[in-house]
Amino acid sequence: MRLPHIDTNRCTGCGWCVAACPPRVLSLQVQAWRKRSVLHAPEACTGCSLCERRCPFGVINMVKTSSAPTRDGSEDPGLGP
């Protein structure tokens, strides 16, 4: 499965990726007094990469994960690529 990896140091918090995400698994959160995009529900991500394509600053990259995330955000070691 591929999940978005967001370079939060470069994220401007514009929200374009949040708007482009069909399953709504991205959100804007305040971190260190700045808005930044965050993947808040990795278990619901479809891996469509619309967020990556929509980001005007190129701060999102789809990264292949070795195991599937569970509801609490941890990884289930029983599932592999």
pLDDT tens digits for range 36-76: 999 999 999 999 999 999 999 999 999 998 765 555 444 44
Phi/psi of residue 37, each to 5°?
-80, 140
pLDDT, position 65: 87
Contact assessment for residue 18 and residue 27, using Cβ atoms and an 8 Å cutoff = yes
Per-residue pLDDT band for 80 (boundaries 50, 70, 90) equals very low
Q: Is 81 exposed, middle or buried (0-12, 13-18, 19+ CB in 10 A)?
A: exposed
Candidate from 8-12, 27-31, 75-79 with smallest mean pLDDT: 75-79
**Domains parsed from the chain with CATH numbers:** 2-67 (3.30.70.20)
pLDDT, position 68: 54
pLDDT, position 69: 52
What is the C-alpha R_g of the chain? 13
CA distance 73 to 21: 19
